[in-house]
Homo-oligomer: A and B are copies of this chain.
Amino acid sequence: MSAKKRGAEVARGGVQLKTPKGTVDSFGKEVILREQVTSKISDIFRRHGGNPLDTPVFELKEILTGKYGEDAKLIYDLQDQGGEACALRFDLTVPLARWVAMNNVTQVKRYHIGNVYRRDQPAIARGRLRAFQQADFDIVGQYDPMIADSEILRIIVEVFKSLEININIKMNHRRILDGLFVVAGVPEEKVRAISSAVDKLDKLPWAEVKKEMVGEKGLPEEVADRIGEYVQHSGNIDKMLQYLRADATLCANESVKEGLADMELLATYLQAYGITDRVIFDFALARGLDYYTGLIYEIIFQPTAAEAATIQVGSIGAGGRYDNLVGMYGRRTAPCVGISFGVDRILSILKAQRTSESQLQTEPVEVYVMAFGSKDFGGLLPERMAVTAQLWDGGIRAEFMSKVKPKLPNQFKAAVDVPIAVILGEDELKEGKVRVKALGLPDGHPEKEGVLIQKSELVAEVQKRLAR
């Protein structure tokens, strides 16, 4: 294939020749790399007993309403063309909750790899798109506390080990955070709004976030300052548990107490899974979405010194516990905990790491079928077709030149990246023979001119040579 990238958009008859804002095409090796990544991820999901779920790309609008807090403005609506009001899915979590409620599911480990859509400000180079792929694993069901949560954290570590990407997991607990806010003096009704301000701390400096709290959200300055004091704390789980236990004011708060009990259990389970050192307990992590109720976490890429200069991505995955979302749809509740991996951001890391083109594997053509003859030969097109079909039937990736009478040098040129040529000549075909030639052999090699074999043995002969 030959594709030249044009700098500018091309227009004809007023038609803009581009993809919609924040979306991209991907082709060839790029798509194959994505398939390799999602296949590694889904292998791990199945290793943990995951079942695949596929839901429609759009949902009834009312299914999505009231689930995303301030982010709801980013939802893509479908136009009303007579019928139901629909919107593109914003994540894979709300569709899961809808499916769980609709089918009265009580227990399931489900995974889902698919695109989601957000009318956000795109930054394509950093893998921030309006249409992007998520890979989700969620555990639905009533279990003893923190067992499912710790398995999700374990899955995160397994996924990035398999992708050879260095990461940390930043985590916090919604109940602890809520308690912190109350102890700091935030009125109950402002806790959600203040939480979503804190969520911006990974993008904005504290001064900006404080301005939002005091200015926009009307928090007294001294309350904001007490929050600012708390959210500076982060570290390994044992250190942070010590800090919490030592603060009698915090521990007196019911909400903090509940969160602390969860985190104590989690510390034991992370130890059993051998992943304690991959996790950072960070009071500044808030997660904007409304539906989280317990443990929350984000996956942070840890670049090497060399990578830090070139690879700029934010979090490459996030998730948490959301015990009330299913209950918003049905009579029954179903506790849930899960993780969304941001596949596009993972790909932008992998592509930056693989500087050499050859590190991207593809499946190129294996055999090129050519015709050779005197000046006025017929081109042997039906014969090339029949021989190529024989190779296809043998499962071999084969091509020939789509010309009735191709010139031999042009055929060799077209086969430049192909390891094996099959060359047909009129006289040889009459004897039921074809020539098989490994391309790119050095001069003087005994098989430089190829070898003549029985046509009926072609597939076996090619397979033998490909296996070398």
A interface residue numbers (CB < 8 A to B):
1-6, 9-10, 12, 14-21, 23-28, 31-32, 34-35, 46-49, 51-60, 62-63, 76-81, 83-84, 86, 88, 98-99, 101-110, 115, 117, 119, 131, 141, 143-144, 147-148, 150-151, 154, 158, 268-269, 271-274, 328-331, 363, 365, 381-383, 385-386, 389, 392-393, 395-399, 402-404
Residues on the B chain within 8 Å of A52, using CB: 27-28, 31-32, 35
Given A101-B17, A143-B403: A389 touches B154 (CB 8 Å cut-off): yes
If over half of A's interface residues share one DSSP class (helix, strand or loop), that class is named, otherwise mixed; here it is: mixed
Measured CA separation A363–B52 after assembly (Å): 11
Q: In the assembled complex, how far is the CB of residue A116 from the closest CB belonging to chain B, in whole angstroms?
A: 11
Q: Are A110 and B47 in contact (CB under 8 A)?
A: no
Residues on the B chain within 8 Å of A381, using CB: 144, 147, 269, 272
- Besides the contacts A1-B110, A6-B103, A15-B329, what 19 more A-B pairs have beta carbons closer than 8 Å? A1-B107, A1-B108, A2-B108, A15-B63, A16-B60, A19-B59, A27-B52, A27-B53, A27-B110, A28-B53, A49-B365, A49-B397, A49-B399, A78-B79, A79-B80, A81-B119, A143-B403, A144-B404, A154-B389
Q: Are B131 and A56 in contact (CB under 8 A)?
A: yes
Q: Are A396 and B105 in contact (CB under 8 A)?
A: no
Measured CA separation A383–B271 after assembly (Å): 10
Measured CA separation A26–B55 after assembly (Å): 7
Measured CA separation A341–B26 after assembly (Å): 21
Q: Are A150 and B399 in contact (CB under 8 A)?
A: no
Q: Are B154 and A48 in contact (CB under 8 A)?
A: no
Measured CA separation A308–B144 after assembly (Å): 51
Q: List 27 A–B pairs whose Cβ atoms lie within 8 Å, in order of A's numbering.
A: A1-B105, A1-B109, A12-B330, A15-B60, A15-B62, A16-B62, A17-B98, A19-B55, A20-B56, A20-B84, A20-B86, A21-B84, A31-B53, A32-B52, A47-B392, A48-B392, A56-B131, A57-B117, A58-B131, A77-B78, A78-B79, A147-B381, A150-B385, A154-B389, A272-B382, A272-B385, A273-B385
Measured CA separation A396–B383 after assembly (Å): 49
What are the 3 tightest A-B residue pairs by CB atom distance, in nearest-first order? A143-B402, A1-B108, A272-B382
Q: In the assembled complex, how far is the CB of residue A433 from the closest CB belonging to chain B, in whole angstroms?
A: 18
**Which residue of A5, A79, A330 has the most chain B CB atoms within 10 A of its CB atom?**
A79
Given A31-B53, A115-B57: A148 touches B331 (CB 8 Å cut-off): no
Smallest Cβ-Cβ distance to A79: which chain B residue: B77
Q: In the assembled complex, how far is the CB of residue A244 from the closest CB belonging to chain B, in whole angstroms?
A: 22
Measured CA separation A435–B403 after assembly (Å): 67
Among B27, B49, B402, contact of A51 (Cβ-Cβ < 8 Å): B27
Smallest Cβ-Cβ distance to A77: which chain B residue: B79
Residues on the B chain within 8 Å of A9, using CB: 102
Smallest Cβ-Cβ distance to A140: which chain B residue: B1
**Which residue of A1, A102, A381 has the most chain B CB atoms within 10 A of its CB atom?**
A1
Given A10-B330, A55-B19, A103-B6: A78 touches B81 (CB 8 Å cut-off): no
Residues on the B chain within 8 Å of A398, using CB: 47
Q: In the assembled complex, how far is the CB of residue A11 from the closest CB belonging to chain B, in whole angstroms?
A: 9
Smallest Cβ-Cβ distance to A404: which chain B residue: B144
Residues on the B chain within 8 Å of A151, using CB: 402
Measured CA separation A104–B2 after assembly (Å): 8
Measured CA separation A272–B83 after assembly (Å): 51
Measured CA separation A34–B114 after assembly (Å): 14
Q: Are A18 and B77 in contact (CB under 8 A)?
A: no
Measured CA separation A269–B396 after assembly (Å): 20
Residues on the B chain within 8 Å of A18, using CB: 60, 102
Smallest Cβ-Cβ distance to A23: which chain B residue: B56
Residues on the B chain within 8 Å of A273, using CB: 385-386, 389
Measured CA separation A57–B26 after assembly (Å): 12
Residues on the B chain within 8 Å of A12, using CB: 328-331
Measured CA separation A319–B18 after assembly (Å): 25
Q: In the assembled complex, how far is the CB of residue A241 from the closest CB belonging to chain B, in whole angstroms?
A: 17
Measured CA separation A242–B28 after assembly (Å): 44
Q: Are B76 and A81 in contact (CB under 8 A)?
A: yes
